[in-house]
Structure 1
Amino acid sequence: MRRERPRIVVTSVIGGRVKQSSLTGGGQYIGGNVKLSGLRCGKGDHWLYLGKDVHQRQRVGEVLGLEKLWPLEDRLHRVASTLRQPFLDFVAMAGEGQRDAIAWRSSAIAWKSWGASDLFLLVCYLRVGIDVIQEAVSRHLSLVLIVEDPWLFEQLKGNCHAQPDIEFLRGEGLLKHKAEAAILGVARRVWWLLRMVWYGIQQKFCSGRGFSPPKTPTVALYSYPALPNICESGGWNDPVLPDLDRLLQNIGYDVIRFSDPQCWGLERQLGERVDYFRPLILYSTLSSLISALFSLLWSKKTILSHVADLDIRRLIEREWWLESGRSAVCRYKIFYQCLTAMLRSGSWRWVVFPYENQPWEKLLVQCARELGIRTAGIQHVPLSVYSLSFFLGEGESSHMPLPDVLFTSGPYAQKVFEDGGIPHERLMMCGSIRHAHLADQSSNGHATRLNSAPLTEILVGLPLDIYTTRHLLAAIASAFPQGGRQENIRFHVKAHPRRPLDINCLGFPAVEAPVSFEDALRHCGLVIFVGSTVGPEAVAWGRMALRYRPELLLNLDQSEVYGDLIPSCTDGTFRKTVLGLVRSQRNPPPVEHVKAVTDQIFAPFNRDLVTEIFRA
């Protein structure tokens, strides 16, 4: 009997749209549907979904059969490891050809952050899709590949057009998405202007005119206004750089905090603190706002179309159109103009900020450098090698506005920064100011402060990223639909402070963890985390931790330095790994091992070194 020829079918989600915030966000293709009629998998067939929407993927699985899902396991991360440096080099080269430095440094593509751009993730999807197709062809397997993003679908179609064994079903094209971005871009810019004018009026009314340029040596300290930062009697609590203002004042500087021009909501409170807090909107004018409104975007004509051997021209086009649908460039242009107006007059000596290499930070350094003012960035979060915004491509340090001094939190960050292209002479290891409690714990040899707790009580620490959160919750719901009741385990879910959620809408029974992280840890012997500092902090407190790595998202794992001290699991191994840890009654990592690793990322804060740098 003649063997039926394997069928490779690539289809896309249609009828939806790419959702993003008006300022940042890589975007997710929401809504829409997948036409699966006639695509039901037969015996030996497989399917694969490439996209971030875990619920859409689950719906596809219900039709095609979850047992037919092509296993990825850690393939995406292996691909990302291979493409990471070529991608950084691609962005570095793209920046060299840009004439408008502010437009380029304001862009999501130059930022490289997972929260601002999906470009690197989509490049990895592209590589995975091509590899899986080629593997299916070589193994004579039938495959249905569902591609969530329409731009990725068109790119994959272009890259595989010469292969006759692949059938691309008709997509919806890109014209609709370009038109939507163009309309949204105009509307969002106009709305941005109206909001900024109104916010400026309110803040200037609340702050009055009772401030003048500093006459004594002064440090400008960036602070993000939030209600928990407001203290009684006119004080300020800085959770990111605690007590740094006192250190600088003890050296002899005055300290004036400042914030992004687009930080509305606390006008009255900031107005009451105008003697030491300057919202940059106070330095805006109607003409500067209108000038920012008409800011141009970065040029896509000067950018090469390849990362390594992958043609990504459609994905570059996607970035440009998404950028055109946002008002981000307006925001960063007015930031640069207002900061220039503030720093142009007065006795400013330093500008200090928490370092993440965001667009506003690059513009801050550019502005200060033009005015002859020194800058210092302070690394305040542990790093992942996939936190691409922190790292540079080949030759990028020559034109990237880096701070004069970059304070790092420990030996690991120091090494990763150096390996990532930051010049050695700019780096200064001062220890962790934000996580000083963990650093002090480690240096004093008291890494296990908490009493033991049962491993059957499991704390789930959710990250800021909503898509990673959804993947983790979906993995738990799939592995433990009854919330672990049948297995005699219980999940305590702790939402990120900036991402509250309804404990009754998780997809499985769970209890809400206390707001205090330390209180939450007291009741739980095992902590599951993804893409946050929850894992390292839990281990430092003497708890077992489990690192979850979603198969379709890049895990910004800030616990890489811990290696095998923290076990890992994927979607496919989630249930087996969790039950294995619970039933093994495995002890937390030895105190001496935890101390050695914790010292690598949370070194004790060296106050004398910081004082010496700022006195120089």
Structure 2
Amino acid sequence: MEAAFEAIREDWVSLAHDLSFTSGATLAHAPACAPNVSDMGCMMAWSRLVDHWIAENRSIGVLCDDPWMFRHLSEKRGVAAGTPPALAVVEMKLRLRGLMARTRFALSAFVAALAFRDQRRRFPNDKPCLLVYGHPRSHVNGVDAYFGPIMSRFSSLFRVISVDGGIRQARRLTASGRNASLHAWGNPWEALTKLVGAKWRPSHIAKTSRQSWLVKRSVALEGGTGHGAMARWTELCLARWFQTCRPSQVIWPWENHAWERQLVRIARRYHVSTLGYQHSVVGRHMYNYAADSNHDGMKSLPDRVLTTGATTRRELTSWGLPESRSAIGGALRLRGDAKVRWNPAGPVFVALPFDRAIAREMIAAIRVAARAGFLFVVKDHPIYRTSFAETPGIVKTEIAFEDHEKISRVLFSASTVGLEALVFGIPALRYVPAHQFAIDITPENIDVPTTGSDGLSAILASPSKPVRIDRELIFSEPMWDQWRQEIIQGVLQCHPN
């Protein structure tokens, strides 16, 4: 499955490029080739596997209860299909769910626009600003889950909290200081009139593309959420913020999602310099970083990009980002005073991913291993929580990975913690789920042992050995002089005189 997913990369990028021209594409994930939030690439990989099996000229039974995927596969020459699963009822439920989700967000945005509008006064014009998600590990004092202590380093920086975290989280992070919610620049009337119908509508390509059923599937699934309303509200708030405050530079944790590409376009319209910070990973399956899926190519990439290390910078260059537009900024959120140490007698640290289905499968797997006598310390995802109960051998923790003093191994799936473990010399295991595809976030030149539920106990029973990679390659020390240079350059670019 992973080989098939890698083989369809160019097909997905090419399709995404065409989809990026369609109405509302900036409100969707599939046109940005974002594999952690869109499974279109996963479906294309399944389709490729079926093509391969057809070419082998032998009978293989394919069990598929997905109504769109079933119809997509049944149209292939060489496939004998039965009665397709019901589609109309599923689509109707998703339409209703999407309508309710967007309405709910619209009402929330209306309230937030009124609640935070006074925060506009906090922001002087022409200042560099951070734009960040409302992360639980960020603090009102300026310490940020993505940018660490950067605000204490640069007193000219202001911080704007995006609209994703909810009103309570926004209130907590903007209670004082150089902070404000992006909601502050929202128009309450626009919240009521422009969000409920905000969704992706690629009508032409959905009818004519050879991947039409997969496009229709993504349209239905994404339209069944409130993301379109949130993305449109972000666009509206950004435009008014840039227009009224004219920040000299906006800096954000960059992953090249569709809304971020739109951010760059809006910033260019108002002559705001853009600096993207590659804060996480650039793994071999992170196709969202490919510039080729943008209908305007390099024009919707940030003016400058700072990376966490040399390897990630090299990966971005291979994805199409010109080397002249990037530099190493270092890992700002990886603390230098980490206590974590390898201890073969310690528990296994389990980092649950954002995908709750994969997280639940990992929990089921470690329950079996716990009955065999292994001890696990489980850290939930900070934002996308998965409910589970402690049982003998399985203990929940809210303590960050770097603060655990005795760890024998790290078990992860699609989580940066796996790479952090290798930096600190802790053996890591990448969990490969049995029931769905999980993206591999490791760079091309780093190989991490894999395991599934069946082989977990056997691997844990074998002696663990410390494995360490050069920190400077992935998560280098913060390059504060580079950050200072980029911020100054951003101000000069905005105000050349």
Q: Give the TM interval when normalised to the shorter protein.
A: 0.7 to 0.9
Distance 1:437 1:149, change over 3 A: farther
Partner deviation per Cα, 1:244-275 (whole Å, 9 max, x = no partner): 223332xxx352434327731146545632x6
- Secondary structure class of the residue paired with 2:62: strand
Taking structure 1 as the reference length, what is the TM-score of the superposition? 0.72
Q: Which residue of 2 aligns with 1:218?
A: 127
CA contact under 8 A between 2:114 and 2:188: conserved in structure 1?
Answer: no
Distance 1:279 1:517, change over 3 A: closer
Q: Which residue of 2 aligns with 1:543?
A: 426
Q: Which residue of 2 aligns with 1:229?
A: 138
Q: In the alignment, does 2:151 pair up with 1:245? A: yes
CA RMSD of aligned residues (A): 3.0
CA contact under 8 A between 2:352 and 2:359: conserved in structure 1?
Answer: yes
Q: Which residue of 2 aligns with 1:81?
A: 6
Equivalent residue letter for 2:214: L
465, 468, 475: which one aligns with 1:587: 465
Q: In the alignment, does 2:94 pair up with 1:188? A: no
Q: Which residue of 1 aligns with 2:495?
A: none
Aligned residues: 488
- Secondary structure class of the residue paired with 2:168: coil
CA contact under 8 A between 2:136 and 2:382: conserved in structure 1?
Answer: no
Shift of 1:372: 0.6
Equivalent-residue separation in structure 2 for 1:258 and 1:517 (angstroms): 23
Distance 1:510 1:245, change over 3 A: same
Equivalent-residue separation in structure 2 for 1:417 and 1:209 (angstroms): 36
Distance 1:498 1:333, change over 3 A: closer
146, 149, 156: which one aligns with 2:73: 156
Equivalent residue letter for 1:224: Y
Q: In the alignment, does 2:330 pair up with 1:462? A: no
Equivalent-residue separation in structure 2 for 1:280 and 1:518 (angstroms): 31
Equivalent-residue separation in structure 1 for 2:446 and 2:171 (angstroms): 48
Equivalent-residue separation in structure 2 for 1:223 and 1:256 (angstroms): 7
Equivalent residue letter for 1:587: K
Greater radius of gyration (CA): 1
Q: Which residue of 2 aligns with 1:198?
A: 111
Equivalent residue letter for 2:183: I
Q: In the alignment, does 2:460 pair up with 1:578? A: yes
More divergent stretch after superposition (190-199 vs 370-379)? 190-199
134, 147, 161: which one aligns with 2:64: 147
Structural mapping, 1:409-558, within 5 Å: 409-435=308-334, 437=336, 450=341, 452-454=343-345, 457-477=347-367, 480=368, 483-485=371-373, 489-501=374-386, 503-504=388-389, 509-518=392-401, 521-558=404-441
12, 20, 31: which one aligns with 1:110: 31
CA contact under 8 A between 1:181 and 1:321: conserved in structure 2?
Answer: yes
- Secondary structure class of the residue paired with 1:498: coil
CA contact under 8 A between 2:349 and 2:409: conserved in structure 1?
Answer: yes
CA contact under 8 A between 2:341 and 2:405: conserved in structure 1?
Answer: yes
Shift of 1:521: 4.3
Distance 1:219 1:291, change over 3 A: same
Q: In the alignment, does 2:45 pair up with 1:124? A: yes
Equivalent-residue separation in structure 2 for 1:587 and 1:531 (angstroms): 22
Equivalent residue letter for 1:89: S
Q: Which residue of 2 aligns with 1:568?
A: 450
Equivalent-residue separation in structure 1 for 2:420 and 2:234 (angstroms): 34
Taking structure 2 as the reference length, what is the TM-score of the superposition? 0.87
- Secondary structure class of the residue paired with 1:301: helix
Q: In the alignment, does 2:280 pair up with 1:377? A: no
Equivalent-residue separation in structure 2 for 1:171 and 1:257 (angstroms): 48
Structural mapping, 1:334-413, within 5 Å: 334-346=233-245, 348-393=247-292, 398=297, 401-413=300-312
- Considering fraction of residues, name the structure with more strand: 1
CA contact under 8 A between 1:256 and 1:278: conserved in structure 2?
Answer: yes
Structural mapping, 1:86-105, within 5 Å: 86-95=11-20, 97-98=21-22, 100=23, 103-105=24-26
CA contact under 8 A between 2:401 and 2:417: conserved in structure 1?
Answer: no
583, 602, 612: which one aligns with 2:475: 602
More divergent stretch after superposition (359-368 vs 544-553)? 544-553
Equivalent-residue separation in structure 1 for 2:442 and 2:222 (angstroms): 32
Equivalent-residue separation in structure 1 for 2:384 and 2:436 (angstroms): 19
CA contact under 8 A between 2:127 and 2:158: conserved in structure 1?
Answer: yes
Q: Which residue of 2 aligns with 1:278?
A: 180
Identity %: 18
- Secondary structure class of the residue paired with 2:301: coil
Structure 2, gaps ≥5 residues long: 490-497
Equivalent residue letter for 2:18: M
Shift of 1:230: 3.5
Structure 1, gaps ≥5 residues long: 1-75, 442-447
CA contact under 8 A between 2:67 and 2:87: conserved in structure 1?
Answer: yes
Distance 1:209 1:242, change over 3 A: closer
CA contact under 8 A between 1:386 and 1:554: conserved in structure 2?
Answer: no
Equivalent-residue separation in structure 2 for 1:114 and 1:339 (angstroms): 25
Partner deviation per Cα, 1:29-52 (whole Å, 9 max, x = no partner): xxxxxxxxxxxxxxxxxxxxxxxx
- Secondary structure class of the residue paired with 1:146: coil
Distance 1:532 1:451, change over 3 A: closer
- Secondary structure class of the residue paired with 1:264: helix
Q: Which residue of 2 aligns with 1:5?
A: none
CA contact under 8 A between 2:414 and 2:439: conserved in structure 1?
Answer: yes
Shift of 1:600: 1.2
Equivalent-residue separation in structure 1 for 2:331 and 2:138 (angstroms): 20
More divergent stretch after superposition (413-422 vs 275-284)? 275-284
Equivalent-residue separation in structure 2 for 1:169 and 1:476 (angstroms): 38
Q: Which residue of 1 aligns with 2:493?
A: none
Partner deviation per Cα, 1:91-148 (whole Å, 9 max, x = no partner): 12332x43x4xx212212123323422111111122223434655x53xx6x543214
Partner deviation per Cα, 1:152-197 (whole Å, 9 max, x = no partner): 111111124x44xx3x332333111222233333333333322222
Equivalent-residue separation in structure 1 for 2:294 and 2:234 (angstroms): 27
Equivalent residue letter for 2:27: S
Partner deviation per Cα, 1:467-491 (whole Å, 9 max, x = no partner): 22123234445xx366223xxx333
Equivalent residue letter for 1:191: R
Shift of 1:503: 4.9
Shift of 1:492: 3.1
